[in-house]
Structure 1
Amino acid sequence: MKIGFIGYGKSTNRYHMPFVEDSGQYEIVGFYTRGSKSFDMPYQTNTDLTRFPDVEQLLNSDAEVISVTTPPEYHYEYTKKSILAGKHVIVEKPFCNTLAEVEDLYRLAEAHNVKITPYQNRRYDSDFLTIKNILQRQDIGKVMEIESNHTHYRPDGADNRGNQYDGSVLGHAVHFIDQIVSLYGEPDSIIYDVCNQKNFYIGEGLMHSDTVPEDYYDIKLIYGNLRIRVRHSQLIVKHPPRWIINATEATVEKYEIDQQERDLKQGIFLDSPTFGHDTAEGLCKIYYKDRVEEVPAEYLHYTQFYNDFKDWVEGKRPNPPVEKSEALAVIHILETIANKAEYVPLKLQK
């Protein structure tokens, strides 16, 4: 299957290209990127890539799939152009900035008989896959509470400027909200708290919502009696467990997030035998009343996203990597929070 990229920055080079080439099922036609900025690309592709002078020439090429990896403000524009050119489309997260834009793209895709999906690669994170399997076990009892923590200690950048779409919710929470939606679908309701902690921390005063985007969020997704907390802060010196599950018969703790991103940032790629593997501290443990069980990690690289997408386009699997209802639910949740609005469920069918 032939693929082209709109955008060619670190997203393409770090989070897409290594896995497209690892798949072995795609021929890369080339890319289009705005401007003339050159990037120091740590991943050295095996392909002699063609840089198209404008997006129209890329869309008029024999590429069957377009992967849109531009900044989010261009996702809707370029995805729409790709659909109208008869291309299947993979769109980096967040899919778009608004629910209306995503709904419009799905309508267009259906009208032009092409497939589209957001690139939710973190569904293939080892920590998430490990927790996903544990949640299917009967011996932990009924799950009552889940915590999804992803904290850092990065006190720099307190004076970053932007609007509500430049903050941590759309740029970061999108991954982890999607993981929960992939498990449980659209929530019944949400409770959320967002703010800028670093700006306040350095003494510049409380944030102005129109100039300093949030860098902290604490989002609770409610499913009947199940409570799921998704939390992010950049001022945590000692990280909590990445996952905590409290069930009637056990408590589960999993430290450390998936290591693929860490390795990619360090220039470690899939040719390394330890690529994406947890450290010893990342071992998952189930605490029962009378014993502790250690659970080995489940590994499935982001390559699988591209394999699944190709199989879906070719009719070899019935479902996309991300269901339409899931994509709509995620954007609706994020847009609600970004606009500080009251959440009203869309009542989607999962």
Structure 2
Amino acid sequence: MADSTTKSTFNVGVIGYGLSATIFHIPFITITPSFKLHSILQRDPANSALSAPRDHPDVKHFTTLDQFLDDAALDVVIITTPPQTHFSFAQKALQAGKHVLVEKPFVPTMSEADALINLAKEKGRLICVYQNRRWDSDFLTVQKLLAGGNKLGRIVEFETHFDRFRLEKPTSWKGSLGIDQGGSALYDLGTHLIDQIYVLFGMPRGVFATLSSQRDGLLVGPQNPNLDPDSFTVQLSYDNGLIACARAAVASAEVHQPRFRIRGTKGSYRKVGLDTQEPQLKAGMKTSDANFGREGAEWNGKLTLVDGNGNTQEQDCPNVEPETYSKIYELFGQAIIQNREQDVPVPASQARDVLQIIEAAKESARSRREVQLS
């Protein structure tokens, strides 16, 4: 493979051809100037509901990993398969000299994350983890609120939610893959929510978690240590007194589901409803549409500020101008051009930190005590 610093456009190959590839990756690969969709690995397109050769006849198609990785023209590998495959696929891609972007959750364990980080350094290649929800417009709005000159003062409580009313278990890997293989709501949705807290506040001092199956009416604990949770509350504590909670539920019957709630010494912010990009993409909206990533005014957040006399005033807080999920691809392309790990938008080292929090949450739920992080 040519030295990345001599190229400005890179051939991208996608492993897997399900919802992740078709909705969250390929639409953005095709609009990123530094990337070109080059190949797709789908093991059995003839017997799949989605067929990569039918949908993308102008790119290369493979059914085996070795042949896919043996293509000398391939520069970047995108891994969109279920979590238990991520480590082996990423390891083989790095060994073949490819840069790698891995869907979340990165890998099931910290030890696997460390092994891939070390291998990438050895091979001089970059790993990015697809934490696309760092580019949700509501989260970008929260980041702006909490930036320099914070309108809300010192933050004392922070909540980030993915709550739904879904009493039927998914038929995909999300409903069957065990927690120790990177399955369950903790790895699926928790990875996003904990990552958002990590981006804002860094590593916590302590982790206390309640993991449950609301569908079955069971808690993870000493009697059910290996239960696969569909719901969770993960509470992160910080030395400055901040309590940050990541929460997800499947038995939440709300018209306007909670998304963010933030309390500070000068005010508060609350937001309902999920970012629009996922439902827009699933509905077939093009990333070039003028309304892509934009919410209606009825979904505006609410900002309450306290003046010097202790009076409160509530106002609408619209989302900031959307950057959309295209940003993670744009930034990763730039990082590859420069071959600089510090430019990777979501480096594997940060994903490893989030895995440390997740592993502490599992330990906390099983022991029913707070776990301290060094």
TM-score w.r.t. structure 2 length?
Answer: 0.84
**How do 1:107-186 residues align onto structure 2 when only pairs under 5 Å count?**
107-136=118-147, 137-157=149-169, 161-164=176-179, 165-186=182-203
2:102 pairs with one of 88, 91, 108:
91
Partner in structure 1 of residue 346 of structure 2? 322
Give the letter for the 1:116 counterpart.
Answer: I
Q: Is this contact kept in 2: 1:162–1:210, CA < 8 A?
A: no
1:230 correspondence with 2:254: no
Q: Is this contact kept in 2: 1:10–1:41, CA < 8 A?
A: no
**How do 1:232-247 residues align onto structure 2 when only pairs under 5 Å count?**
232-238=248-254, 239-247=256-264
C-alpha displacement of 1:281:
2.6
Structure 2: where are the runs of 5+ without partners? Answer: 1-9, 307-311
**Cα deviation digits, residues 22-44 of structure 1 (max 9, x gap):** 223211111112334323479x9
Return the alpha-carbon distance in structure 2 between the equivalents of residues 291 and 166 of structure 1.
43
RMSD (CA atoms): 2.4
Partner in structure 1 of residue 361 of structure 2? 337
2:317 pairs with one of 295, 309, 313:
295
Give the letter for the 1:218 counterpart.
Answer: T
Return the alpha-carbon distance in structure 1 between the equivalents of residues 101 and 110 of structure 2.
17
TM-score w.r.t. structure 1 length?
Answer: 0.90
1:214 pairs with one of 211, 222, 229:
229
Return the alpha-carbon distance in structure 1 between the equivalents of residues 245 and 225 of structure 2.
26
SS in 1 for 2:253: coil
Query: Number of residues paired by the alignment?
Result: 341
Partner in structure 2 of residue 308 of structure 1? 331
1:52 correspondence with 2:62: yes
1:63 correspondence with 2:74: yes
Return the alpha-carbon distance in structure 2 between the equivalents of residues 78 and 167 of structure 1.
21
Q: Is this contact kept in 2: 1:251–1:288, CA < 8 A?
A: yes
More deviation, 171-180/336-345: 336-345
Identity of aligned residues (%): 29
SS in 1 for 2:151: coil
Partner in structure 1 of residue 25 of structure 2? 16
Return the alpha-carbon distance in structure 2 between the equivalents of residues 86 and 54 of structure 1.
18
**Cα deviation digits, residues 141-192 of structure 1 (max 9, x gap):** 1111111122111122299555224210011110111111122221111111
More deviation, 162-171/253-262: 162-171
**How do 1:243-258 residues align onto structure 2 when only pairs under 5 Å count?**
243-258=260-275
SS in 1 for 2:269: strand
SS in 2 for 1:242: strand
C-alpha displacement of 1:335:
2.6
Give the letter for the 2:233 counterpart.
Answer: D
